[in-house]
Chains A and B, each alone.
Chain A
Amino acid sequence: MISITNLQKSFGKLTVLDDLNFNLNKGGIYAILGPNGSGKTTFLKVLLGMVIPEKGTVLFDNEDISKSTSYRQKLGYLPQIARFPDNITVNEIINMIIDIRQQPAEPKPLISLFGLESFLDKKLGNLSGGTRQKVNIVLTFMFETTVLILDEPTAGLDPVSLIKLKELIAKAKAQGKIILITSHIMSLVEELADEIIFLLEGNIHFKGSLGELKEQTKGKDLEHAIASLLQS
C-alpha cells in the first residue's frame, strides 16, 4: 500500500533521511520511534507531501504522491500541535474540512464521544489546548481513510480522553487500517504497537515486532530495549 524507495532528504548540510527503503502492506499499528532529530516527523511529512524529498519515490496504492493530491483522501493526519484560525468556531472548522475534502464524514459520534457538543459554537481561539486537540482528533477520525498518521497524538489530553483515543485507534486497527504513530510515551507504544520501526541517523535501524525487539536486545521492557539499541 505504501512503498518507499531510496528516499533522501536533507536540510542544508544535515541529512535527515538517508536512502530509506520501506514497504507497508498489512493493516496494523506501526510505531515510529527514534531519538530526537532522527527524522520521524520528516518521514511522516514526506508521506503527507508536506516535505519534498530530494531523491526517491513514494508510492501510495501504486500512485506516485509527488504527482497527486487525491491520495490524501485515503489519509488522515493528526498533527502534533493543534492550532486553527482563531475566529472560526468548532462547527465551522469541521464543516470546512468536510467541504474541502469532498468526502463523506461522520463527525457526530466523535463529537459526543469527546463531549464537544457544548463547544461547537465557540471560537477555536478561546479553547484550551486539550480541547483543541480533541477537535483535531475529530477532524482526523471522521473520514473513511485507509491510513492514519498520528504525530504525538496524546499531547495535552486528559486520561479519560486518552482512553477514548486508544479505543478509536483500536477500532481503526480492527477495520484493517494502517496506523502510523510516533510517541515519546513508551507505555503507550508498548500497549498499542504491532510493529516497531526504529529510525536512527536517517535510516531504519530496526523493524519488527515488540517481541523481536526485546529478544534481539535482551531488554526487559521497551525503554531498555530502545536504550540498548541506541548503545549498540
Chain B
Amino acid sequence: MIKILKYSFSDLMRSKWSYIYLAFYLVLGFVLLFLNNDISKAIITLMNLVVVLTPLIGTIFGIMYFYNSREFTELLLAQPVSRSKIFLGQYLGIALSLSLSLVLGLGVPFLIYGLFQSTEIFNFMMLLVSGAFLTFIFVALSVLIGLYNSNKIKGFGYAILMWLFLAVIYDGALLIAMVIFRDYPLDNLALVTSFFNPIDLSRIMILLKLDISALLGYTGALFQKFFGTNTGYVVSMLILLLWVVGPVVIMLQKSKSKDF
C-alpha cells in the first residue's frame, strides 16, 4: 500500500494542478494577511473559503484522478497486490498531496507574517486540520462515486451535485425547514442534522475554537450549548473522523466486488 501511495503521491506532486492549487493558497494567504493586517480576521475570512473550497477541490481532483488513472489501475490490478492496497494507496496519495498543498500554501504566508509570535497559532492549526479533514472526506466520497459509476459524465455530475448539495443546498433546505416548522421544538433535530454535513461540522468546529459566538449560527450555538466548547470540539472532530472512515470502508468493500 505504501508503495502505491508513494507513486500516486509523486505523480500528483508533479502535476501542474497541484502547483496551481498551491499557488492559489499562497496568493490567498498573502493577500488576506496583508489586506486585513490581522491574523485572526484573516483566519475567519479564510475559514469561510476553506470550508467551501477544499471540498470542491477534493471532489474534482478525486473524481478526475479516479477516471484518468483507470487504465493504470487495471495495470496495478494485474500485479500481485490486493485491491484494498491499490485503492487505499491511491486514495491516500490524492488526499495527502492535496492536504500538503493546503498546509504549505496557507502555512508559508502565515509563518512569514509571524504566526509563531501570535496567540492565534492554535486557531490557525484548527483551520488547517479541518481543511485536511474536508479534503480526506470529499476525496473519499468522490472516489466512491467513481467506483459506483463507470460512466465518466454521470460520475462527474454526481460528484459536483454532492458538493453543491453539502456546501450550498443543505443549509438552505435546513433553513426553510426551520422556518416552516418553527412552531415545533427543533433544537435536537437541528443539532443532529449538522452531523450529516461535514462542511457544517467543520465550520462549527473552527468557530468553537475561535470562540466567536456571533458567527456560530444556529446549529453552532446549539452545539456550544449542548456539548460546551471543549466537548463540542472533540465531538465534532470524532464525527469528522467517522466521515472519513465510513466512506473509505465502503470504498474498500465496493472495490472488492467491482469488475474492471
Using CB atoms and an 8 Å cutoff, list the residues of chain A in contact with chain B: 11, 45, 48-52, 69-73, 75, 77, 79, 81-88, 92, 96-97, 99-102, 139
The count of A-to-B residue pairs whose CB atoms sit within 8 angstroms is: 72
| Chain B binding surface SS class | helix
Q: Does residue B257 face the partner (Cβ distance < 8 Å to A)?
A: yes
Q: Does residue B253 face the partner (Cβ distance < 8 Å to A)?
A: no
* Residues in B73-124 with C-beta less than 8 Å from chain A: 74-82
* Residues in B60-77 with C-beta less than 8 Å from chain A: 69-72, 74-77
Residue of chain B at shortest CB distance from A97: B79
- What are 16 A-B pairs with beta-carbon distances under 8 A? A45-B259, A48-B78, A52-B258, A69-B81, A70-B80, A73-B80, A82-B71, A83-B72, A84-B71, A84-B72, A84-B75, A86-B15, A87-B12, A88-B7, A100-B3, A101-B79
Q: What is the distance, in angstroms, from B107's C-beta to the closest C-beta of chain A?
A: 24
Contact with A72, one of B4, B12, B78 (Cβ below 8 angstroms): B78
Q: Does residue B260 face the partner (Cβ distance < 8 Å to A)?
A: yes
Contact with A79, one of B7, B15, B75, B82 (Cβ below 8 angstroms): B75
A84 to B78, CA, bound (A): 14
A49 to B260, CA, bound (A): 9
Residues of A within 8 A of B79 (CB): 72, 97, 100-101
Question: B3-35 CB contact bits vs A (8 Å, 1 = yes)?
Answer: 110011011101100000000000000000000
Given A51-B259, A51-B260, are A100 and B4 neighbors across the interface (CB < 8 Å)? yes
Residues of B within 8 A of A101 (CB): 79-80
Residues of A within 8 A of B74 (CB): 50, 79
Using CB atoms and an 8 Å cutoff, list the residues of chain B in contact with chain A: 3-4, 7-8, 10-12, 14-15, 69-72, 74-82, 257-260
Across the interface, do B71 and A83 meet the contact criterion of CB distance under 8 Å? Answer: yes
Minimum-distance CB pairs A-B, first 6: A83-B71, A87-B14, A77-B78, A85-B11, A72-B80, A51-B259
Residue of chain A at shortest CB distance from B259: A51
Q: What is the distance, in angstroms, from B83's C-beta to the closest C-beta of chain A?
A: 8
Q: What is the distance, in angstroms, from A78's C-beta to the closest C-beta of chain B?
A: 9
Q: What is the distance, in angstroms, from A75's C-beta to the closest C-beta of chain B?
A: 7
A45 to B77, CA, bound (A): 10
Residue of chain B at shortest CB distance from A88: B11
Across the interface, do B77 and A48 meet the contact criterion of CB distance under 8 Å? Answer: yes
Residues of A within 8 A of B12 (CB): 87
A27 to B82, CA, bound (A): 27
Residues of A within 8 A of B14 (CB): 87-88
Across the interface, do B77 and A50 meet the contact criterion of CB distance under 8 Å? Answer: yes
A77 to B76, CA, bound (A): 10
Across the interface, do B7 and A50 meet the contact criterion of CB distance under 8 Å? Answer: no
Contact with B15, one of A83, A87, A97 (Cβ below 8 angstroms): A87
Q: What is the distance, in angstroms, from B153's C-beta to the closest C-beta of chain A?
A: 19
Residue of chain B at shortest CB distance from A140: B78
A101 to B74, CA, bound (A): 15
Q: A87-B11, A99-B3 are in contact. List 4 more A-B contacts (CB 8 A).
A: A73-B80, A79-B78, A82-B71, A87-B14
Q: What is the distance, in angstroms, from B214's C-beta to the closest C-beta of chain A?
A: 46
A153 to B92, CA, bound (A): 33
Contact with A49, one of B8, B70, B77 (Cβ below 8 angstroms): B77
Residues of B within 8 A of A79 (CB): 71, 74-75, 78
Residue of chain B at shortest CB distance from A81: B71
Q: What is the distance, in angstroms, from B194's C-beta to the closest C-beta of chain A?
A: 38
Residues of A within 8 A of B75 (CB): 77, 79, 84, 97, 139
A180 to B79, CA, bound (A): 17
Residues of B within 8 A of A70 (CB): 80
Across the interface, do B260 and A50 meet the contact criterion of CB distance under 8 Å? Answer: yes
Residue of chain A at shortest CB distance from B89: A100
Q: What is the distance, in angstroms, from B79's C-beta to the closest C-beta of chain A?
A: 5
Residues of B within 8 A of A86 (CB): 11, 15
Across the interface, do A100 and B76 meet the contact criterion of CB distance under 8 Å? Answer: yes
A86 to B69, CA, bound (A): 9
A190 to B258, CA, bound (A): 35
A85 to B76, CA, bound (A): 12
A85 to B15, CA, bound (A): 10
A49 to B78, CA, bound (A): 7
Q: What is the distance, in angstroms, from B209's C-beta to the closest C-beta of chain A?
A: 37
Residues of A within 8 A of B71 (CB): 79, 81-84
Across the interface, do B10 and A88 meet the contact criterion of CB distance under 8 Å? Answer: yes
Q: What is the distance, in angstroms, from A177's C-beta to the closest C-beta of chain B?
A: 16
A86 to B8, CA, bound (A): 11
Q: What is the distance, in angstroms, from A111's C-beta to the closest C-beta of chain B?
A: 18
